[in-house]
């Protein structure tokens, strides 16, 4: 009876889940359509921009607009600036978040929960509220109009500390107690036990930080005054003219800006999904 019932349950289970799959497929298409539409404008001749309904893919696709973007702006320099800022921001955020989360998760001291709740409270504030104080601090340190001035205020974030605290709390205390009995100090527990066991969370936080720091626009445009220091998110605005704008060049520049972080996510999505799966438990 059991062996005969199993084949019948599978189609029923699939039929029950079919509406969820269709909903997820519709949401995926809705999320992907703006990128596909932008890519279509970038490789097309521009005549289909205002067509309704807009075509999904142009008939005379080509790559000439990407070459025009390379000639119009110093794309290589902007790309290097974005890579420098995003890489240092990602590495610094991972280090600061892990170091701040470890004592909140595994050490016992007075006021620990109060400190954690105070950090979480900063999530309620918009990031723009810190621009004036951060800029004054950066200027007094002599770091205005430098790439390091863009990076430093972004290293400590409540989300990263919260995520890493959750990761460290999932590690059984028995493992840490056994390590302490073997003579391990706090740094050895942190670096040799907690960090290796939290790699999926580190990958998730790294991807989030990389995508955010690659796409951030307002803060670099406030700090940086020299065009040679602009990242891609700011530099692509040079594709806009004072009196006229080539939609095809702007679309090509947007695609070139998106592709690096998209490639990073595609190649690291396995670690990202493992980290997100643990974060929502």
Average pLDDT over residues 140-153: 93
Residue-level pLDDT at 93: 95
pLDDT digits (tens, 9 = 90+) for 156-185: 889 999 999 999 999 999 999 999 998 889
Q: 9-23, 71-85, 144-158, 262-276: which has the minimum mean pLDDT?
A: 262-276
Q: Which residue has the higher pLDDT, 153 or 47?
A: 153
User: Is residue 1 over pLDDT 60?
Assistant: no
* d(C-alpha 111, C-alpha 274), whole Å: 32
What is the torsion angle, in degrees rounded to the nearest 10, for the CA atoms of residue 83, residue 84, residue 90 and residue 96?
Answer: 180
**Residue 149 CB contacts under 8 Å (≥ 6 apart), including other chains:** 138, 141, 143, 223, 224
* Residue pLDDT, tens place only, 183-200: 889 899 999 999 999 988
pLDDT of residue 241: 66
Q: Quote the CA–CA distance of 162 and 241 in Å, as a whole number.
A: 43
Domain ranges of the chain: 67-277
- Ranges 48-57, 217-226, 246-255: which has the least confidence: 48-57
As a whole-number percent, the residues of the chain with pLDDT over 90 amount to: 38
- Residue 7 or residue 171, greater confidence: 171
Confidence category of residue 108, pLDDT binned at 50, 70, 90: confident
**Contact between 66 and 246 (Cβ < 8 Å):** no
With CA atoms as reference, report the closest residue to 208 among 104, 97, 130: 97
CATH number, span 67-277 = 1.10.3720.10
- Cα separation, 224 vs 144, in Å, equals 7
């Amino acid at each position: 009876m059991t062996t005969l019932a199993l084949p019948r349950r599978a189609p029923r289970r699939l039929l029950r889940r079919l509406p969820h799959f269709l909903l997820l497929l519709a949401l995926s298409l809705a999320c992907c359509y703006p990128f596909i539409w932008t890519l279509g404008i970038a490789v097309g001749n521009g005549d289909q921009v205002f067509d309704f309904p807009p075509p999904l893919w142009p008939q005379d696709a080509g790559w000439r607009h990407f070459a025009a973007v390379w000639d119009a702006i110093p794309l290589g320099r902007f790309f290097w600036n974005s890579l420098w800022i995003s890489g240092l921001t990602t590495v610094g955020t991972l280090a600061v978040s892990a170091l701040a989360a470890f004592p909140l998760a595994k050490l016992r001291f007075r006021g620990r929960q109060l400190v954690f709740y105070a950090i979480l409270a900063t999530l309620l504030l918009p990031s723009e509220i810190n621009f004036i104080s951060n800029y004054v601090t950066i200027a007094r340190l002599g770091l205005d109009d430098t790439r390091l001035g863009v990076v430093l205020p972004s290293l400590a974030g409540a989300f990263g500390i919260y995520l890493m605290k959750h990761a460290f709390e999932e590690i059984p205390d028995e493992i840490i107690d056994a390590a302490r009995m073997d003579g391990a100090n706090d740094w050895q527990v942190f670096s040799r036990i907690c960090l290796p066991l939290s790699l999926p969370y580190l990958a998730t936080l790294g991807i989030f930080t990389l995508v955010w720091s690659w796409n951030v626009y307002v803060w670099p445009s406030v700090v940086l005054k020299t065009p040679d220091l602009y990242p891609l998110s700011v530099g692509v605005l040079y594709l806009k003219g004072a009196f006229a704008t080539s939609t095809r060049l702007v679309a090509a520049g947007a695609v070139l800006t998106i592709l690096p972080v998209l490639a990073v996510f595609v190649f690291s999505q396995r670690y990202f999904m493992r980290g997100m799966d643990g974060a929502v438990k």
